[in-house]
Copies of this chain bind each other. A is one copy, B any other.
């Protein structure tokens, strides 16, 4: 058996035991992992410093180094608090979501259960180890974690602590959390569709795209965040300026930042220029269609020429992740919707209007995980939604969408409890099904 197959099979076997533990057993394990990491803080920070030194020697980008550094501010303590927050969440497992009497003493129950085995692939942030370990164990899933080479030293020390704690102090089976560090193994693990149930990539577009193209296992996540804002002719001008500037500039490298701006063609040129001016003031470069550019005042263009470029068709398919924004005018809310449904990455899209009918048309007609009315696309985030720690943001259209918490790691099984019933006794003049729903509120207490 290949190494990857052994890792995946062992995770699968562990998952079937982990699945049967009680919430208190799973939660107690999180407490022990928290305590273990806290106890060995200095050892972890020491390893993390080695990673930082290596990163500096390898001339890594500033933001990447910043993400790597566990000693910065309260990052280490936040990581530990995160584990306890997950511990306190309601148990997602064993909830009855449907109960039905099929016949006398033949009862059907739909019960939530873990997905099984997760393969989580992430880049530089070492705190993801604690985060995903907590979410996986709380939801009864085994997890195989693969971190980036930049955080290898931190990763190795944390992995050792987590596994020692699990083995010595908890009922969580061995191999529930496996940490791997070589790039070769990932490719082989992506072939283990027999044992791995869900792949969760957390990192760059390139990482996610590469994984999606190389596995038959379902992938939960997002490659692109191509979000759009539509400013309607019934929008409040001041609100429009404020929302667009925040959605573009609050954190331009985020997946929920806006990349396309659609402007209703009935908005007066002076108002359009007000909107643009607020973006120029925030140092945003606009990629404007020639059609729209032709309507602007020459003086206005001349004054702001360093922030103006002509839009290409490609710009409306581009996730800039920078202070760039593609702009075009559209006839009405329907045209905006058509543009967005064909161009957006189904992440989060926004309408700015005072007209509720148009807003509802937009909210119901847009085919994205997040559909927003009069608020910044930057709210698309598990913490802001009040989900606690998030697994990631999904642009998939099945299973889980948008910011995903524990519920994305849970599915369900049908349990059927009988007293010897056979199918041969039903139909053709035999027994008939009762199909009477049982009140699930009493069952879940």
Which residues of A are interface residues toward B (Cβ below 8 A)?
Answer: 12-13, 15-17, 19-20, 94, 100, 102, 106, 108, 115-116, 197-198, 212-213, 216, 218, 220, 236, 239, 242-243, 245-247, 250, 337-338, 341-342, 359, 361, 363-376, 378-380, 384-386, 396-403, 411-424, 426, 433, 435
Contact = CB atoms under 8 A, between A and B. Distances in A.
A52 to B, nearest CB: 25
Nearest to A215: B216
A416 B375 contact: yes
Nearest to A378: B423
A366 B420 CA distance: 20
A382 to B, nearest CB: 11
Nearest to A340: B16
A375 B414 contact: no
Contact of A375 (B380, B402, B418): B418
Contact of A414 (B197, B370, B421, B435): B370
Given A242-B420, A376-B422, A384-B426, 9 more contacts: A12-B342, A115-B397, A236-B420, A239-B420, A371-B416, A372-B418, A373-B416, A378-B422, A385-B414
Contacts of A372: 415-418
Interface of A (DSSP majority class): mixed
A338, A375, A385 interface centre (most CB from chain B within 10 Å): A375
Given A19-B364, A116-B367, A216-B213, A433 B386 contact: yes
Nearest to A256: B423
A282 to B, nearest CB: 11
Contact of A374 (B364, B368, B419): B419
Contacts of A419: 374-375
B365 A20 contact: yes
A114 to B, nearest CB: 9
Given A250-B424, A378-B423, A384-B433, A19 B367 contact: yes
